[in-house]
């Protein structure tokens, strides 16, 4: 449009693709934050006072059982945001949302995001599509967690993290990965050893490096491809590492 210049890209695909004037105005309120490993963003029954748009960090939505066992029901990186339920009128959390891979994010007060969504029909429609994509991911993850073997799920998770981090080095511990996959740490060690023996990854304490992405894709369950395809259909952009990084 005449007289305006394209807004600067933030590196978060939700922000960079969200339509509507309200969102461009909100850009002034975005504050860069550094998220350290295992920081809890939202917790059970706690108010959700801000939304985060990851840039390089990966955040997991987990459910915890009364015996302490956990399972991941959502994964959020540069393709999305935390706290979408805020746009749907929810103000306190019904899950634990925790930093899985540390790095940066852009933070926005929750009430500013809520009023922007309420005042801008284009942004509202986009946000509802995002909520639908998140719901689709949750359904797939639930099925994956109960149907597929740990090795394939581990490869699937690493691919999803790789897409969101944008580099080959993933700073995460096996302990954390086992919590996300809802299995004992020993099972993750076996799965990671097999992926390493195949030459797909290498790992040391606290970090995993992707060496052979197509090999990892061959080891992953079908869920990775299916979620990616469905995501693109709903949102119009790809989560995939090489699919939509716009610099």
Q: Which chain residues interact with Zn ion by CB under 5 A?
A: 144, 148, 221, 223
Cβ-based nearer residue to Zn ion, 117 or 220: 220
Q: Are strands 70-76 and 58-64 parallel, antiparallel or unpaired?
A: antiparallel
CB of 193 to Zn ion, least distance (A): 20
**C-alpha triplet 11, 15, 19: angle, nearest 5°:** 140
**Which residue, 15 or 223, is less far from Zn ion as judged by CB?**
223
> Whole-number minimum distance, CB 62 to Zn ion, in Å?
17
Sheet holding 40-42, edge to edge: 40-42, 96-101, 58-64, 70-76
Within 8 A by CB and 6+ apart from 132, the residues are 234
**Alpha-carbon separation of residue 29 from 9, 23, 33, 84, 92 (angstroms):** 15, 10, 12, 17, 22
Q: Which is nearer to Zn ion, 144 or 235 (CB)?
A: 144
* E strand map for 110-165: none
Dmax (CA) of the chain: 60
Nearer to Zn ion, 61 or 160 (CB): 160
Task: In angstroms, give the least distance from the CB of 212 to Zn ion.
Answer: 20
What residues are paired with 52 via a beta bridge?
A: 107
> CB 136 → Zn ion: shortest distance, Å?
14
Q: E-assigned strands of 65-152?
A: 70-76, 96-101, 103-109
Nearer to Zn ion by Cβ, of 139 and 186: the residue is 139
- Minimum distance of Zn ion from residue 227's CB (angstroms): 9
């Amino acid at each position: 449009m005449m007289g305006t210049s394209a807004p600067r890209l933030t590196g978060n695909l939700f922000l960079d693709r969200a339509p509507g004037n309200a969102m461009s105005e909100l850009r002034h309120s975005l504050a860069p934050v550094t998220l350290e490993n295992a920081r809890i963003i939202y917790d059970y029954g706690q108010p959700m006072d801000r939304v985060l748009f990851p840039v390089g960090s990966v955040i997991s939505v987990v459910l915890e059982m009364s015996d302490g066992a956990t399972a991941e029901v959502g994964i959020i990186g540069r393709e999305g945001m935390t706290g979408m339920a805020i746009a749907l009128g929810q103000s306190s959390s019904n899950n634990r949302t925790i930093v899985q891979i540390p790095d940066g994010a852009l933070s926005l007060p929750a009430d500013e995001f809520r009023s922007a969504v309420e005042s801008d029909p284009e942004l509202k429609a986009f946000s509802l599509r995002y909520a639908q994509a998140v719901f689709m991911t949750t359904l797939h993850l639930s099925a994956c967690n109960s149907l597929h073997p740990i090795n394939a799920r581990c490869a699937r998770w690493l691919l999803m993290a790789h897409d969101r981090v944008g580099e080959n080095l993933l700073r995460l511990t096996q302990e954390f990965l086992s919590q996300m996959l809802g299995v004992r740490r020993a099972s993750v060690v076996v799965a990671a050893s097999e992926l390493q023996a195949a030459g797909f990854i290498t790992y040391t304490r606290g970090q995993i490096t992707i060496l052979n992405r197509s090999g990892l894709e061959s080891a992953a369950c079908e869920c990775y491809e299916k979620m990616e395809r469905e995501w693109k259909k709903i949102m119009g952009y790809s989560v995939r590492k090489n699919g939509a990084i716009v610099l």
